[in-house]
Every structure is written in structure tokens, then in C-alpha cells.
Amino acid sequence: MATRSQAARRRFLLHPPFVAMGGTLLIAAFFTDYNYLSSSLFQWANFSAWLITAGLVLALISAIFLFIDLLIGGAGRIRWVDFAILALAVILSIFNALVHSRDAWTSVVPDGIALSAITAILLLVAAFRGWTVTGDHLPGDGGAA
Amino acid sequence: MNNRLQLVVVPATALLAACAPQGQDPRRQAGPNPWLPEPRQFLLPPMSVPKAIGWKAGESPHVPAGLKVQALATGLMHPRIVYGLPNGDILVVESNGPGTVPFRPKDYIQGPIKARGGAKAKGGNRITLLRDANGDGVPELRTVFIDHLHSPYGVVLVGDTFYVASTDALLAFPYTPGATSIPGKGLKIADLPAGPINHHWTKSLTASPDGSKLYVGVGSNSNITENGLDVEQGRAAIWEVDRATGAMRVFASGTRNPTNLAFEPTTHQLWAVVNERDEIGPDLVPDYLSSIRRGGFYGWPYSYWGQHVDVRVHPQMPNLVATAIKPDYALGSHVAALGVTFSAGQSLAPAFANGAFVGEHGSWDRWPLNGYKVVFVPFVNGHPNGMPVDVLTDFLGPDHKSVHGRPVGVALDRTGALLVADDVGNVVWRVSAAKARPTA
């Protein structure tokens, strides 16, 4: 099905590295939340707050580079399923950043860690789908090239 | 997963939509049995900080009929505490917090909002002396009494020793009557809890009527333990220092931020104004004025107003909560009571003969704003009796969007006039009887 010109397709996209970095930080926030749940040590909750904030900053950078990727062209079509997964993760993380701005135990338990867990599951799916919002096929599909 | 998503997202959205509840009438929360709503958790806790604009020449706060107000001193550097020496000299502690490292993303957001209200202005780190020998409210002399202090707050004179509670140490200076300045760094009597976080930095100070003991109020190192329990060692407590030996022990605990201490003159009982916790609603938790019992536990962090458990603290301590003392008198939520002094006779008016003046710095996390005034709590037989009465008001600008000044410490001068430190207007206000009355 590789009928569209592969030559016009860029080998490297700008947005996936930033999606990967931001996504990794947001996944990590689930683990720091879990450590806070297990230990009650406040520094784990602080780590979570910073990881979520940094993850959201990278999400903003990712969105800018996605826009640039589309502007340059040759990025392939938008994969709306991946876009929706990532957008949902970002929306949940915005709520989660606000929950984590509370003080002490209830900044994590129960709302914070629940949001972190759902976000982490969404982002693991996004990771296995290649941390990308554009392109015609999933990595490991084989055959296309 | 869809169901799980809905479980979280729907309540979260509803919570965000309803995140700016209005505070109720503050008078419901004045007195020994305040109305206490259910605690709430927010996504965006309300913050309302009026813009600091200072006082123009000729402007002043408002006093009730029969009283007059005048500026005893202006152009000060963040005055927090006023203190009257026996010879009539007036000391003004000019100070602000030493600053603290931002720990969390929210610190970068709340800090600048509070700075709008003048909370981050540079303090003088000194004590200024004012001498108004003829008592007309116009000082003839103004000198730097003690300089180069480290965020000083509470001061007290006992005999010939002048004590200063700076944020990290209790210091003693030799004093001779009539002195207008004291050189040197003072003698360190004791270290006080400070450290890199130092959330509530003020250390309030008073002495027992017989002068044998000092009492130091030390605030918590967090709103509600979000900086961990390790950094709360010795905090949220009132310490007793034996003057003869220097021995220190915790006199009472669970007092979140005991911002000022005073002895009630008829019963010789220690009283404190205490600032309670934030971010569980505009009407929680009332700051209070309370007698302080030796060995008493007043709730923080585990509970408030007796046995109302705070779910934000983990692990909880039900056994300790069971022992928590209910404070004597609620002043209202978030009024930020910072100053307290007991009246001594009818120098202002008969209505103010017996009770406590309380300086309320004003709220930052509540709408409508609360506090921003000096009130008088009437006492009968050594206990509060009746609603608070406004003494000095109109610190706020029109629509409560701006603020001229914010009252902090209160004291009586030798003539019985009420002095009020204003750390945004950088003024010391003097409230006296409009018509001269015979001094007691």
C-alpha cells in the first residue's frame, strides 16, 4: 500500500521526541504517587507535582512541534486515535496538577493517584503506538517499507 | 476504563466549576461557639489579594466616634510589632520574613499573588525608637534602637534586659532606662526553629507577670504538614523559657501559628492569638484568641476547633485528637490575627476598659475579604464576653480591590493610647480619645 511517495515523507518528525519525554514524566508521576501512598514521605508528593508540571510543559512544546511538523509537510496524516489518547492524558494531567497543588495527603490520595494511574495507562498505550500523532502505520507493522 | 474515567472526570469537573464559594457573614464565626461548615477540597483554592497602594498624605483608617487616629510615624520599613517601654518610649520592630525556597510548583503561583498585597516588601531588620515625651502623638525623637537583626518579631523588656525573638534565635540586650540605641548583636539565649523552609517565620514573645519566664510562640512550618513532619519539630507550639537557667520546654502545642502572646491582667493567664489552617474553605478554620493551658494540645495538625479531624494529615492520630482543647474565642476564618494586647483601664473609652485589642492583618484566600481591621474583644472576669467591636477600620480601598495598609501588632503607650503597626502603609497609627481624659 506504499503508494504515496515515500520520498516526500520526512524520515524524522519533530514532535515524537517531546511527546515521549513528556509522556515518560507523566508516567513517572504515577510511581512517585505510589511511593507517597506507601511511605507518606512528602518529598514523593513533591516529585509528583514537579513531574506533572514538567510533563505538561513538554506537552505544550509537543503541540507546538506537532503544529510545525504539519506546517512543514511530509509528516503523514494525523492519527486521531493517538491524538485523542494524548489529549485525554493532557486534560487529566491538568486536573491532576491542580489536585497535586493541594497540601499533604489529599494532594495524592485518592484523587491524585487515580488520575495518575489512568494517565499512565493511556500513555503506555501511546508509547506502544510509537509516541506519535502522525504517520500512516504503527511501528512493527512490517511490510510498508 | 470508560467508567473509571467518568468516575474521576465528572466529579473533578463539577468541583472545578464550583470552586469559588463565597464566605458567609464573619459574625457567625465570632465567639466561643463558631459555626463550622463541612471542609472542602479544591482544585483551585480561592485567592483574593487586594493590591497594596499605601496611604496618601492626609488619609488614615477610620475610628468610631469619640476616638481620633493619627500617624505616629510614617516611612517605616514593614513595621510588624509596636512595644511601649516603661519610660514612654515606643519601639517599632520593622521586619519581614527571610524568604524561603520554593518547594513546589504552587509556590511560584501563590508567591507573586501574595506579593501583590505587599506581603513580600523588604523588612528593615531593625527596631526603631520613637520618643513622644509630651504624649501629643508627635515624636520629638526617632532613632534606630537595634540594627542588623535577622527577621525580628517579638520583643519584651524584663528588668534591665531587653529580649528580641528573631526568626532563628532568642537574643538578650542590656537596657538602661532612657537609652535610645543599643549597639552589638546581643547575647543568644536560645536557638529557635528556623531552617531553609521557615514557612511561618515570626517568633512572638512575652514575659510572665513576675518576669521569671519568657514565652515564645513558634508557628508551623507548613499549612498542614505538606513539608513533612520532620520540619515541624518544636513548631506550632508555645515555648516556655526559664530566665534564670535558660531551660526551654514546650508549654503548649498544636497551636498552628501563635502570632502573639499576652497575659490577661486580672487573672495573670497566658493568652494567644493563633492563625488556623487554609485551603479547606472560606469559612474554615476560624483564627482564635484563647487562653493557653500548660501542656495543652490545641489540635494542629490533626484536628481543628477541638475534635474536627483534618483529612489532609497522614497518618492520623485519633488518641491525640481526643485530647485537643477547643479554643476559647473564634475571631473569624482567615482574619490573620497577628497582634493582641489587653486594655488597661478607660483610657480610650469606657467600652474599651476591659478586654483585648486584636490586630487582624486580613485574608488572602477568601472572598469577601475578612479582617483588615483592629477589633476589641470585651472581657468579663478574665474571659471574653460578647461580640468583637471594630476599633480601627477602612484599611481597604473601594470595592476591596485595593488596600492602603494592613494592621499587625498592637500595644498601648504610656498614656493608654492604642498603637497599631501597619506593615503595608509603613505607618504606626495612634488611636486616642478625641477629648483628653484623665489618665488612669
The shortest CB-CB distance from A95 to any of B12, B104, B226 is to B12
Query: Residue A144 falls within a domain, yes or no?
Result: no
Q: Return the domain boundaries, chain B.
A: 48-433
**Count of domains forming chain A:** 1
Dump the DSSP string for A12-58: --SHHHHHHHHHHHHHHHHHHHHHHHHH--HHHHHHHHHHHHHHHHH
Q: Are the C-beta atoms of B25 and B332 separated by less than 8 Å?
A: no
Smallest CA-to-CA distance from B123 within B429, B424, B428 is with B424
pLDDT digits (tens, 9 = 90+) for B232-281: 999 999 999 999 999 999 999 999 999 999 999 999 999 999 999 999 99
Q: Which of B97, B100, B87 has its CA nearest to residue B118?
A: B97
In a domain? residue A25: yes
Cβ–Cβ gap B226/A49 under 8 Å: no
Q: Residue A2 falls within a domain, yes or no?
A: no
A138, part of any domain: no
CA dist B163 and B305 (Å) reads 32
Q: Is the pLDDT assigned to residue B23 strictly greater than 50?
A: yes
Q: Which residue in A46, A53, A102 is closest to B41 by CB distance? A: A102
Percent of chain B residues past pLDDT 70, beyond the cut: 94
Measured CA to CA, the distance from residue B27 to residue B13 in angstroms comes to 32
Residue A142 lies in a domain: no
Is A46 domain-assigned? yes
Phi and psi at B344, nearest 5°, equal -130, 75
HSE-up of residue A50 (Cα within 13 Å, Cβ side) = 10
Query: Which residue range forms the structural domain that includes residue A62?
Result: 14-128
Q: What is the pLDDT of residues A99-117, one digit of tens each?
A: 999 999 999 999 999 999 9
Q: Is residue A5 part of a domain?
A: no
Burial B259-289 (b: 16+ CB within 10 A, else e): bbbbbbeeeeebbbbbbbbbbbbbbbbbbbb
A-B CB pairs within 8 A amount to 77
**Predicted pLDDT at B9:** 46
Identify the residue whose cell numbers are 476589641. B376
| Chain A nearest-CA residue for B225 | A104
Express each pLDDT in B95-137 by its tens digit. 999 987 788 999 998 888 888 888 888 999 999 999 999 888 9
**Spatial separation of the C-alpha atoms in residues B162 and A15, rounded to whole Å:** 65
B-contacting residues in A 117-136 (Cβ below 8 Å): 118, 121
Average pLDDT of span B189-218: 96
Provide the strand spans (E) within B305-414.
Answer: 308-309, 329-333, 337-342, 355-360, 373-380, 383-384, 389-392, 402-403, 407-412
pLDDT, one tens digit per residue, over A82-102 is 999 999 999 999 999 999 999
Residue A110, preceding bond cis, omega within 30 degrees?
yes
Report whether B80 contacts B94 (CB < 8 A).
yes
Test A98 with B16 for CB contact under 8 angstroms. Answer: yes
What does CATH list as the number for B48-433?
2.120.10.30
3-state secondary structure of B102: coil
Q: Is A51 domain-assigned?
A: yes
B156 Cα distance to chain centroid: 16
Query: Does residue B3 have a pLDDT over 60?
Result: no
Distance from B55 to chain A by nearest Cα, in Å?
35
Residues found in chain A: 145
